[in-house]
Copies of this chain bind each other. A is one copy, B any other.
Amino acid sequence: MPKMTVAELEAFYATHFPQLSSFRFKIEEVEDRFIRVRLFHHDLHLRPGGTISGPSLMTLADTAMYSLLLAMIGPVALAVTTSLNINFLRKPAAADVIAQARLLKLGSRLAVGEVTMFSDGDDEPVAHATVTYSIPPRREP
Contacts and interface: CB of A to CB of B under 8 A. Distances in A.
Contacts of A116: 104
A24 interface: no
Interface in A91-125: 104-105, 109-110, 112, 114, 116, 124-125
A54 interface: yes
Q: From DSSP, what is the main secondary structure of chain A's interface residues?
A: strand
A91 to B, nearest CB: 8
A132 B87 contact: yes
Interface in A1-22: 16-17, 19
B84 A54 contact: yes
Contacts of A87: 82-83, 104-105, 112, 130, 132
A81 B110 CA distance: 12
Interface in A72-92: 80-90
A37 B16 CA distance: 30
Interface string A36-68: 000000010011100000110011001000000
Contacts of A89: 104-105, 112
